[in-house]
């Protein structure tokens, strides 16, 4: 079942050394771990840890144990929800590219095309009170978590109706209502913040005695896995047994730096067991596989069994950002992953397994197109923030603006928010 619709490459054992000798821009030979889910080598968990923690099993085996091979992984409703979410992510990002080239959007914009399976696979299993922390490539995480397309588009246009009133921008999507805790520009910055949110979950349960089983999902890339904060948080999350899932969106490239050129051991899932948590590798171009792994990881976290590290092998179809000429990536590599487009794959699965027909899927696509168009019109029509908004929201308690020349707190000056008060 796990191999239902993606072409997986077999894993041969011998190519570890070869990989390092290849010129950086060429694909490693097909005998690398890339693209394979056939044998998830997570069984190399330290015995001492295995005794204490729940056993980690290859995804394939979970699937085989729990479901007979002729039953489906999802119901029709779930399938349509997943499809719609991925189509929303794709259309939205495509529209962002158009708007950027028309000058409506500016600054740094990082698009998520190709990676939708990871966002949809994980976030659609979460509740509203679970938290998501992401990086600068956060539009689709925000959308999957429930932030409306209008709010995200307006934020990108820098309008006052955006989810952060135009003050955050593309890289800083925050939504308290949907527990989208950002949107961070520095790689690795979101990981400790996510660990803190998971810490709060546990604190609420154990110290404040509240009924809280919220989990946090932290999304970050392959480049981040060489950053110190990642390791610090793997250590502390396992140490304190926090309800967090670390999701690595390994798209093989950090701007123009290939993962293989920058990492001594490129198999990121292995770093989990080193800290005492399960490390799982999954095909990130296959939303159903991602969803199966996510279910297991989220359930673990909710039961209080601690963190999981999930490495999703995925790919971004566009450059790092809209300003990236994307010259270093091989055309053959891009073509190979384009053939594994997660949306096409899910569509094929739904149709072949008679969960939906062309017509229903087309309706969804049309609905999303209209939604995105409407979001653009809304954003266009929205006003820019007023001048006085410049000074707002620096502090939650605005007495932090100090004391004005008249000896009273500046924020008490009635002209303060009009922008005419002296600063």
- Using CB under 8 A as the criterion, which residues of the chain lie in contact with other proteins when the complex forms? 131, 133, 164-169, 172, 174-177, 181-186, 189, 191-201, 203, 206-208, 228-229, 232-233, 235-236, 239, 392-397, 399-407, 409
CB of 164 to other proteins, least distance (A): 4
In the complex with other proteins, the residue whose CB is nearer, 235 or 262, is 235
In the complex with other proteins, the residue whose CB is nearer, 143 or 233, is 233
CB of 308 to other proteins, least distance (A): 18
CB of 131 to other proteins, least distance (A): 7
In the complex with other proteins, the residue whose CB is nearer, 183 or 319, is 183
Q: What backbone phi and psi angles, to 5 degrees, belong to 279?
A: -120, 125
The three state secondary structure string of the chain is CCCCCCCCCCCCHHHHHHHHHCCCCCCCCCCCCCCCCCCCCCCCCCHHHHHHCCCCCCHHHHHHHHCCCCCCCCCHHHHHHHHHHHHHHHHHHHHHHHHHHCCCCCCCCCCCCCCHHHHHHHHCCCCCCCEEECCCCCHHHHHHHCCCHHHHHHHHHCCCCCCCCCCCCCCCCEECCCCEECCCCCCCCHHHHHHHHHHHHHHHHHCCCCCCCCCEEEEEECHHHHCHHHHHHHHHHHHHCCCEEEEEEECCEECCEEHHHHCCCCCHHHHHHHCCCCEEEEECCCHHHHHHHHHHHHHHHHHCCCCEEEEEECCCCCCCCCCCCCCCCCHHHHHHHHCCCHHHHHHHHHHHCCCCCHHHHHHHHHHHHHHHHHHHHHHHHCCCCCHHHHHCCCCCCHHHHCECCCCCEHHHCCCHHHCCCCC
In the complex with other proteins, the residue whose CB is nearer, 10 or 402, is 402
In the complex with other proteins, the residue whose CB is nearer, 113 or 175, is 175
CB of 236 to other proteins, least distance (A): 6
In the complex with other proteins, the residue whose CB is nearer, 103 or 228, is 228
CB of 321 to other proteins, least distance (A): 19
In the complex with other proteins, the residue whose CB is nearer, 102 or 209, is 209
CB of 153 to other proteins, least distance (A): 16
CB of 407 to other proteins, least distance (A): 5
Q: Are 148 and 88 in contact (CB under 8 A)?
A: no
In the complex with other proteins, the residue whose CB is nearer, 120 or 154, is 154
CB of 333 to other proteins, least distance (A): 33
């Amino acid at each position: 079942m796990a191999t239902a619709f993606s072409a997986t490459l077999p894993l041969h054992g011998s190519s570890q050394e070869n990989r390092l000798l290849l010129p950086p821009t060429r694909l490693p030979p097909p005998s690398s771990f890339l693209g394979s889910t056939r044998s998830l080598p997570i069984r190399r968990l330290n015995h001492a840890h295995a005794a204490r923690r729940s056993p980690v099993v290859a995804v394939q085996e979970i699937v085989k144990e729990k479901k007979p091979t002729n039953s489906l992984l999802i119901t029709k409703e779930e399938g349509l929800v997943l499809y719609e979410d991925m189509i929303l992510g794709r259309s939205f990002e495509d529209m962002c590219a158009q708007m950027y080239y028309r000058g409506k959007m500016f600054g740094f914009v990082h698009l998520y095309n190709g990676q939708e399976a990871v966002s949809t696979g994980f976030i659609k299993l979460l509740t509203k009170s679970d938290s998501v922390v992401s990086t600068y490539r956060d539009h689709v995480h925000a959308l999957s978590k429930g932030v409306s397309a209008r709010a995200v588009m307006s934020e990108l246009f820098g309008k006052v109706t955006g989810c952060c009133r135009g003050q955050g921008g593309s890289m800083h999507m925050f939504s308290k209502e949907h527990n989208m805790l950002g949107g961070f520009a520095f790689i690795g910055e979101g990981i400790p913040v996510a660990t803190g949110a998971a810490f709060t979950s546990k604190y609420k349960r154990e110290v404040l005695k509240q009924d809280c089983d919220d989990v946090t999902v932290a999304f970050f890339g392959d480049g981040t896995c060489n950053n110190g904060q990642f390791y610090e948080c793997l250590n502390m999350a396992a140490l304190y047994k926090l309800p967090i899932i670390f999701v690595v969106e390994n798209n093989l490239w950090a701007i123009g730096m290939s993962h293989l050129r920058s990492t001594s051991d490129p198999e990121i899932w292995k770093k989990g067991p080193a800290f005492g948590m399960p490390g799982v590798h999954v095909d990130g171009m296959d939303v159903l596989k991602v969803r199966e792994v996510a279910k297991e990881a989220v359930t673990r976290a909710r039961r209080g069994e601690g963190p999981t590290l999930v490495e999703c092998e995925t790919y971004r179809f566009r450059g790092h950002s809209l300003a990236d000429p994307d010259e270093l990536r091989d055309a053959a590599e891009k073509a190979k992953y384009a053939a594994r487009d997660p949306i096409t794959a899910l569509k094929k699965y739904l149709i072949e397994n008679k969960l939906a027909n062309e017509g229903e899927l087309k309706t969804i696509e049309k609905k999303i197109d209209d939604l995105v168009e409407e979001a653009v019109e809304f954003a266009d029509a929205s006003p820019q923030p007023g001048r006085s908004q410049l000074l707002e929201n620096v502090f939650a308690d605005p007495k932090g603006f100090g004391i004005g020349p008249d000896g009273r707190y500046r924020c008490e000056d009635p002209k303060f928010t009009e922008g005419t008060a002296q600063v």
